[in-house]
Amino acid sequence: MTGWRILLHNDHKPAVKRRRGQGAAVIGMTLFLACVFSLCVGVGSVAIMPAESLRIIWGKLTGTGDISDLDPSLVSILWDIRMPRVAMAFLSGGALSLSGAVMQTILQNPLASSYTLGVSSGASLGAAIVIASGISLPVLGTFLLPVTAFFMGFLVIAVVLVISSRISSSLQTHTVILMGMSVSLFVNALLTLLSSFAGNRLQQLILWQMGSFSGMRWYHVEILTPICLSGLLLLVLHSRELDILSFGDENALSLGVNVKRGKFFALVLGTLLTGAVVCFTGTIGFVDLVAPHAVRRVFGTENQKVLPLSFLFGGAFLALCDMLSRSLLAPREIPVGAVTALAGTPFFIWLYVQGGKNG
């Protein structure tokens, strides 16, 4: 009996330490999000103090605060320009990170993401076709870009999986990733060719390809918010199935999971999230690679935690990158895709090197 109590006591200690460590990490994440939000809404070509920011936000949300003594241009800059931009950056980073977390789970590889698998390139091509051609469908209206981007992104991932299955019937992860990069290069070549025929829309297309949150307004936030929240909710509800899929196809089948249906469902949602973001902001890479891996290093691999925390961390990371893109050389703006690539490329190389060392 004494030995059994000792065993329970010894097993309980790591669990207590793990919960304490995760609790501290959650507190750290909360403080990090608060700091990022304060920086993003306050820093820019026009600096706004945190106290003024809180007064404006509280007054606009509740209609009770008196902000008549503040400069009207300051109120307009924060509420009409900076706030929707920060919100779009946060939602976009969250959606891309969520998509990357799903891709990494399905392919059981931390190097997998919608960017490296070509989904972003396919979605970019679909949106570029709409911009360059100027076509419109009254039935879809403003949703023509998201629908086209989603279709092309899913088409690219389907082509990648078909080619990979011909090379490796077991769909080895390195084969899928290499095929994704190869197809992505081909799609980027088509995108470049399309740009040469864009005519007077060339400048708009080039600016869009570099990735930017310039010109984001509240109606953009209203469109993207339900897509992001719906995708997050559906994936969290299926987090247990994703955990089982991460053990491999054979183990998942032995546990009664429909592997094909599960992978198809996850890929559709991941592609939809990426396509919805790309059509509004352009191509922004490496967020979907960095954020999920960083969250797994801190909080573990359980998708019920990884998915929402990846959404939060990825959103904060991209909002911070956007703040740097518009502030470092103000009033000139650096494409946010360049900032994320500068941060993500060294991380990608380090991750690949570490994977090679670990076999």
Report the candidate in 231, 236, 233, 237 with the shortest Cα–Cα distance to residue 150: 231
Q: Is 46 part of any domain?
A: no
Q: Are the CB atoms for 315 and 296 separated by under 8 Å?
A: no
Q: Is 226 part of any domain?
A: yes
Q: Is 210 part of any domain?
A: yes
pLDDT at 58: 83
The torsion of the CA quartet 240, 246, 250, 256, rounded to 10 degrees, works out to 10
Would you call the peptide bond into 331 cis, given omega within 30 degrees of 0 as the criterion?
A: yes
CATH code, 251:
1.10.3470.10
Burial 220-258 (b: 16+ CB within 10 A, else e): bbebbeebbeebbeebbebbebbbbbbeebeebeeeebe
Phi-psi region of 161 (alpha: psi -120 to 50; beta: other; left: phi over 0): alpha
- Domain range spanning residue 339? 83-357
Q: Are the CB atoms for 239 and 304 separated by under 8 Å?
A: yes
Q: Is 2 part of any domain?
A: no
Q: Is 69 part of any domain?
A: no
Q: Which one-letter amino acid corresponds to residue 12?
A: H
Burial 308-321 (b: 16+ CB within 10 A, else e): bbbbbbbbbbbbbb
Question: CA-CA distance, 277 to 272, in Å (whole number)?
Answer: 9
pLDDT in tens, 106-125: 877 777 777 777 887 888 78
pLDDT at 22: 59
Question: CA-CA distance, 122 to 274, in Å (whole number)?
Answer: 10
The torsion of the CA quartet 84, 88, 94, 100, rounded to 10 degrees, works out to -170
Q: Is 49 part of any domain?
A: no
| pTM of the predicted model as reported, rounded to 2 decimal places | 0.82
Q: Are the CB atoms for 231 and 95 separated by under 8 Å?
A: yes
Q: Is 8 part of any domain?
A: no
Q: Are the CB atoms for 99 and 271 separated by under 8 Å?
A: yes
pLDDT at 98: 93
pLDDT at 43: 83
Handedness of CA 89, 94, 100, 103 (dihedral sign): negative
Q: Are the CB atoms for 325 and 334 separated by under 8 Å?
A: yes
Running DSSP on this structure, what letter comes out for residue 301?
S
* Lookup: tokens for 171: 């769909």
Q: Is 40 part of any domain?
A: no
- Count: domains in the chain: 1
pLDDT at 21: 56
CA 153 to chain centre: 15
* Lookup: tokens for 69: 């003594």
Taking 50 as the pLDDT cut, the residues of the chain under it are 1-13
Question: CA-CA distance, 88 to 33, in Å (whole number)?
Answer: 15
Handedness of CA 35, 280, 114, 321 (dihedral sign): negative
